[in-house]
Structure 1
Amino acid sequence: MTTTTIARAWMIRRKDGLTLGFTDHDVALSFDGVRFRPDHGMAARALVQGSGLSVDNSEAAGALSDDAISERDILAGRWDAAELKMWEVDWSDVGRRRLTFAGSMGEVSRSNGEFKAELRGLAEPLNNARGRVFHPRCSARLGDAGCKMVLSGTAFQTELEIEGLDDGRIFRFSEFPAFNARWFERGVLRILDGEAAGLHGAIKNDISLPGGGREIELWQSLGLTAQTGDRVRLTAGCDKRAATCSQKFSNLLNFRGFPHLPSEDWLLAPQVGSRND
């Protein structure tokens, strides 16, 4: 490969399938079914690649663009964990290329009309914990393969229109279905339409209001602010206790915790005998 004809090319694919290609060459390149555009400034910095299982890391930077990586999409988290590949390619013959990086985008930030994205190598998942944790509370996530709960019914979900909104994280509803108090705490609020469609957040508080209304507070505001009239879906929450699994969800057979483990007091002072049952 002739050094004077080397260019770099990046391919970014979001979880929703949107794929973009960029290059630092001055004309567009095409290969693997992707067109790599030169018209959006993008550069890679400080690529570090280690041998063995060490995690590759780098940083990508580029200009924000409404039709490419927009500030709105970054705020909405739509580029989080997007797949990313980087090549060195001979622009005179794109068949002569070498894959130099494969991984995903980590934290994405923006400032002064530019985005910056942390790049995570393929070995990054090896940092995650593996195996089960022995703990009195459940290790499954509500509705996943371990939990096996089906949440699509009206007993655990409801859809409503936003009637009041404060600080981008407090949602108010004047009329609310007959769910028990605090039913949705630790659950999920998902925006179904409007500019913030698809965004979701964890529910911190579910507060009953006079007259049958309800106030739902998220732990933090969403990347984009929803509007009154937008529809949302609320999904019930679980505190991962065995009693909740049994009484609220009737799902104790699939409980993934160890509710009868001795307490920390017993482990520290087993000699106290009958006080620890």
Structure 2
Amino acid sequence: MTTTTICRAWLIARKDGLRLGFTDHDAVLTLDGVAFRPDHGMNARSLMQASGLSVDNSEAEGALTDGAITEQDILAGKWDSAELTMWEVDWADPMRRKKVFAGSLGEVSRSRGAFRAELRGLSEPLNAAQGRVYHPRCSARLGDDACTMKLDGAAYSTVLDVEGCEDGRIFRFAMFPGYESGWFERGVLMMRNGQAEGLQGAIKNDTALPDGGREVELWKSLGIHPETGDRLRLIAGCDKRAETCRLKFNNFLNFRGFPHLPSEDWLLAPRAGG
């Protein structure tokens, strides 16, 4: 009877330095000082690999556990773009191994106590658009190196306690600092402590209420609902218009758009408008 001693092993390295090893073998394997454990409940589907620069396609799936990959870490984005390496290993002699995949985790989804992650090959970044986009609105992200805005001051961010939260999406405050209505629209809400610590959401609406209170609505519910008393931070938003950059942020010198670019109608029919 013929038997095999080949198993698979995965090493995931997060951006924060955490490294975890997984294997479909029934015992712990040690490679390069990392323990690859079989009890984390992670496995991968068959790899679809091609020659040249074609993207390798596969998926990893497994259980959400307290000791390995938790639901809160996924929601907080800690596993986004984590580096992943996969080997075929002779478990009788772990030094005999062959690397079969190197890349990163793509979209991670969760359902019923389990997760599923897309695997992206090393050629995936080649699909990203290169060069600059010529558009009337700003191409920079608020607060990045191109924008240069500092958002840690009181003018553009504030820290508050959660007073009321509906469905992890709508936050209501009885007392609110003196920001004009809509100041935080298109901005970010970030949880600073509690069970939802590290989670953040994009702000859809920021509405001043007649009684002096405030209602902040997110586009999407936070996966873990904050509790009363948890701390959060609100960061102002930007609609990428030149007028907003000049009047709201006083940062027009760093505006990365082209506000005087002719409209599409003019480009298609230049004589129509004179």
TM norm. shorter chain > 0.5:
yes
Superposed CA offset, 1:19-54 (max 9, x none): 211111121111223110022333221201111111
Residue matched to 1:73: 73
Residue matched to 1:128: 128
Q: Could you tell me how far 1:75 is from its partner in structure 2?
A: 4.3
Q: 1:112, 1:218 → 2: CA distance?
A: 24
Q: Could you tell me how far 1:56 is from its partner in structure 2?
A: 0.6
82-91 or 130-139: which moved more?
A: 82-91
Residue matched to 2:82: 82
User: What letter corresponds to residue 143 of structure 2 in structure 1?
Assistant: G
8 A Cα contact 1:6 1:91, kept in partner: yes
Superposed CA offset, 1:174-212 (max 9, x none): 111111221101111100000111111111100001232
- Change in CA separation of 1:140 and 1:30 when aligned onto 2, cut-off 3 Å: same
Residue matched to 2:262: 262
Q: 2:112, 2:231 → 1: CA distance?
A: 33
Residue matched to 1:117: 117
Instruction: Show the 5 A alignment for 1:19-30.
Output: 19-30=19-30
- Change in CA separation of 1:85 and 1:248 when aligned onto 2, cut-off 3 Å: same
37-46 or 165-174: which moved more?
A: 37-46
Q: 2:110, 2:54 → 1: CA distance?
A: 28
- Change in CA separation of 1:67 and 1:155 when aligned onto 2, cut-off 3 Å: same
Q: Could you tell me how far 1:4 is from its partner in structure 2?
A: 2.5
Instruction: Confirm whether residue 172 of structure 1 aligns to residue 139 of structure 2.
Output: no
Q: Could you tell me how far 1:242 is from its partner in structure 2?
A: 0.4
Residue matched to 2:230: 230
Superposed CA offset, 1:105-145 (max 9, x none): 12223345433221111111211111111100000000001
8 A Cα contact 1:76 1:224, kept in partner: no
TM-score, normalisation: structure 2: 0.93
Identical amino acids, percent of aligned pairs:
70
Aligned CA RMSD, in angstroms, stands at: 1.8
Q: 1:111, 1:137 → 2: CA distance?
A: 38
Residue matched to 1:49: 49
Instruction: Show the 5 A alignment for 1:88-167.
Output: 88-167=88-167
Q: Could you tell me how far 1:18 is from its partner in structure 2?
A: 2.4
8 A Cα contact 1:186 1:204, kept in partner: yes
Q: 1:236, 1:171 → 2: CA distance?
A: 16
Q: Could you tell me how far 1:72 is from its partner in structure 2?
A: 4.1
TM-score, normalisation: structure 1: 0.92
Specify every segment of 5 or more residues in structure 1 that has no aligned partner in the other structure, as ranges: none
SS at match of 1:216: strand
Q: Could you tell me how far 1:264 is from its partner in structure 2?
A: 1.6
Specify every segment of 5 or more residues in structure 2 that has no aligned partner in the other structure, as ranges: none
**Equivalent residue pairs, number:** 273
Instruction: Confirm whether residue 4 of structure 1 aligns to residue 4 of structure 2.
Output: yes
Instruction: Confirm whether residue 64 of structure 1 aligns to residue 52 of structure 2.
Output: no
